[in-house]
Amino acid sequence: MVTSTLVISVIVVVVLGTFLFGQINKSVVDSSQRTAASEAFADRLQIADALTPETDDPAKQAAGAEPAAGNLLDEVMDTITGSGENGSEKRYEVLILNLTSPGQSRASGSVVPADVPLTLKLALQRNIRAYKWEDATGSIQTIRFRGESQPRLTYVVGGIVHLTTNGRTYEVYHFFPFDEEEELLSNVRLAIVVVGLGLVLLLAAIAYLVARQVVTPVRLARQAAERLASGRLDERLKVRGEDDLARLANSFNEMAANLALKIHQLEELSQVQRQFVSDVSHELRTPLTTVRMAADLLYDAREDFEPMAARSAELMQAQLERFESMLADLLEISRYDAGAATLDLEPVDIRDVVLRAIGDSEALAERHGTRFELRLPNEPCVAEIDNRRVERILRNLLFNAIEHGEGRDIVVTVGADRDAVAVAVRDHGIGLKAGEDTMVFDRFWRADPSRARTIGGTGLGLAISREDAGLHGGWLQAWGQPGEGSQFRLTLPRSAGVDLKGSPLSLVPPEIEMRRTWRTSMTPVLLPASGDGDGHDED
């Protein structure tokens, strides 16, 4: 607001100042020109009266008028310039040029005929040729007079004195210095600049005060909103008056109170839900242990049962194992929800963790006809990690790849750089549709709800894996395309607490990236049509 007001004020002051100075300049110059023209006209009348012969006898004129005319020029020059006894002091100079007898020309002060502007002299000559004796012409010029070091702004008025009695013609030039006008206009210009600058600063100060009174409450509201967003739900604004800002403060306080109430209710509900899950999980362990012992006895003695009873024992054993896995996952999720999950960090070579996870998954891979392709670096990839949690992440990724890999090979790649280590698990199964790369980490999410889990998963594995990766300060990301399979990438910092800036491995598989690059850079080539020599294609 202050900047905008300052810019607009400068523009307005400049425009108004320019207009005002132009009007003052025009008024002063026009007034001075009218005064100068009036004085010049009076002087020309005086010159004409002084030079007009008192007798009309040609003989007397021939005998004594010529010397008398020269004397009269001196007298009239002294009179009109104010140097005579009865004259008043005047501030202009006069040049009288006798066109009939050039030797009788007169000039006052330091004026010489060369000081007359050429354009003014030509204008008077045109008037003489046109017999326009009464017309006068003026011109403002910068003239440096003889004996002066600096040029002066001068208004030159040129007129004609024509004597009808003897036919003589005189060019009369009045030189009016505009020093006073120039000084006056310079003072006016300085005053306009000073007043305009003061007005601009005053408007800027007013705009600053107004903006401060408006912006300060808004700034306080912004600071309160930031503190509210950071978790300080007891933050409130002070209400002063009954204007719009006061109503804004009231609305903000009501919003903060309602928000705090809703968050408190949600926290209580979440706490009840977490406690319920935790209690149920713990309470189910005791009867589950008893059922497990009975199921183990039945499973061990299944060969002595009827076929239907033996099959039932096998199904019960499998479902109990799945039930135990689900209970364990629920307990783990409840720890994350309660914020009780902790890390047991130690320097570990990530290659060893990958090999152990693959060893745990080989039996399941063999049952599904899947093989692992390992791409491990030769150098150690040591990072500070929780060995148990990272191994669980990798097992979940491998189990997920086996289930959705359609029996094709699974590529496991390990990479490392100075700041991070990464593991990518690539399958060539059904892939992921657009948007499913983030939904796949949701709890109990399935890409195809009608499809049964072939390995007895609980639907919480990838959700727990993402929580484990986030607990390390790492990333767990997914990529997939229908028909191209999918790839999951785990990226962990080498040192605990260090923020990740990138990953050593690309999320998109290299062959897919190369295929994209090849398609982008491929240029179509037009081949000539096949046919016989006469230019017609064969059918």
465-487 tens-digit pLDDT: 888 888 888 999 999 888 888 99
* Mean pLDDT, residues 78-99 taken together: 67
Tally DSSP H helices, then E strands, for the chain.
12, 12
CA–CA separation, 340 and 337 (whole Å): 8
Mean pLDDT of 414-429: 91
Residue 159, beta-bridge partner list: 172
Strand partners, 137: 158
Report the range of poorest mean pLDDT among 339-343, 373-377, 380-384.
339-343
Letter for the amino acid at 57? D
Please tell me the distance from the alpha carbon of residue 108 to that of residue 117, in angstroms, as a whole number.
Answer: 17
Torsion sign across C-alpha atoms 29, 34, 37, 39: negative
> Does residue 530 surpass a pLDDT of 50?
no
pLDDT above 60: residue 452? no
124-149: pLDDT as tens digits = 888 888 888 888 888 888 888 877 77
Answer for the pair 436, 376: CB distance below 8 angstroms, yes or no. Answer: no
pLDDT of 448 higher than 70: no
The reported pLDDT for the residue numbered 535 is: 41
Which among 447, 469, 342, 349 has a CA at the least distance from the CA of 397? 469
Is the pLDDT at 528 greater than 60? The verdict is no
> What's the rounded Cα separation, in Å, for the pair 346 and 491?
17
Confidence class of residue 68 from pLDDT cuts 50, 70 and 90?
low
**Confidence grade of residue 347 (pLDDT, cut at 50, 70, 90):** very high
Are 421 and 494 within 8 A, CB to CB?
yes
Nearest Cα to Cα of residue 429 among 406, 412, 447, 446: 406
Please report, to the nearest 10 degrees, the dihedral formed by the alpha carbons of residues 65, 66, 68, 73 taken in order. 130
Dihedral class, residue 109 (left if φ above 0, else alpha if ψ from -120 to 50, else beta):
left
359 phi/psi in degrees, rounded to 5:
-60, -40
Q: How far apart are CA 358 and CA 375, in angstroms?
A: 13
Reduced to 3 states, what is the DSSP secondary structure of residue 527?
Answer: coil
Q: What average pLDDT does this structure show over 97-113?
A: 74
Q: How confident is the model at residue 538 (pLDDT cuts 50, 70, 90)?
A: very low
Residue 402: partners with Cβ closer than 8 Å, 6 or more residues away: 361, 364, 365, 368, 370, 410, 427, 455
Specify the pLDDT at position 539: 37
pLDDT for the residue 355: 92
Look at residue 322 and tell me whether its pLDDT is greater than 60: yes
At 352, the pLDDT band (50, 70, 90 cuts) reads very high
Q: What is the mean pLDDT of residues 72-76?
A: 72
Closest by CA position to 397, among listed 306, 278, 486? 486
486 Cβ neighbours under 8 A, 6+ residues apart:
401, 404, 426, 427, 429, 431, 432, 478, 479, 480
Whether the pLDDT of residue 300 is over 90: the answer is no
The yes-or-no verdict on residue 85 having pLDDT over 60 is no
pLDDT band of residue 446 (cuts 50, 70, 90) is low
pLDDT band (50, 70, 90) for residue 70:
low
As a whole-number percent, the residues of the chain with pLDDT over 70 amount to 85
Instruction: Check residue 424 and give its pLDDT.
Output: 93
Residue 529 reports pLDDT greater than 60: no
Identify which has the larger pLDDT, 229 or 199. Answer: 199
Alpha-carbon distances of 256 from 116, 262, 427, rounded to whole Å: 86, 10, 49
pLDDT of residue 79 exceeding 80: no
Cβ–Cβ < 8 Å for 479, 502: no
The band of 84, judged by pLDDT with boundaries at 50, 70 and 90, is very low
| Confidence (pLDDT) at 154 | 87
CA 257 to each of CA 76, 154, 219, 250, 262: distance values in angstroms, whole numbers, following the listed order: 101, 81, 20, 11, 9
* Average pLDDT of the segment spanning 277-305: 78
> What average pLDDT does this structure show over 195-208?
88
User: At 406, phi and psi to the nearest 5?
Assistant: 55, 30
User: Measured between alpha carbons, how far is 377 from 421 in angstroms, rounded to an integer?
Assistant: 11
* pLDDT band at residue 296 under the 50/70/90 scheme: confident
Cβ within 8 Å of residue 331, ≥6 positions away: 278, 281, 282
Give the model's pLDDT for residue 422.
93
Task: Give whichever of 259-263, 279-283, 406-410 has the largest mean pLDDT.
Answer: 406-410
- Tokens at 228, concatenated: 């509210």
Nearest to 412 by CA among 475, 401, 403, 389: 401
- In this prediction, residues 507-524 reach a mean pLDDT of 73
Q: Residues 216, 218, 223, 225: what is their CA dihedral angle, to the nearest 10 degrees?
A: 160
Q: Of the given ranges (178-192, 404-418, 440-454), which has the lowest mean pLDDT?
A: 440-454
pLDDT of residue 153: 85
Highest mean pLDDT (candidates 68-72, 271-275, 362-366): 362-366
Would the CA dihedral through 305, 311, 314, 316 be positive or negative? negative
Reported confidence tier of residue 493, pLDDT bands at 50, 70, 90: very high
Residue 93 has φ and ψ, to the nearest 5°, of -115, 155
Q: Which of 159, 112, 95 is nearest to 132 (CA)?
A: 159
Mean of pLDDT over the chain:
80
Token pair of 516, please?
């994209």
Structure tokens at 263: 């968050």
Whose tokens are 């992921």? That residue is 432
DSSP letter for 536, please: P
Quick one: average pLDDT of 82-108? 67
CA distance 37 to 348: 106
User: Which 8-state DSSP code applies to residue 305?
Assistant: S
- Residue 533: per-residue pLDDT: 42
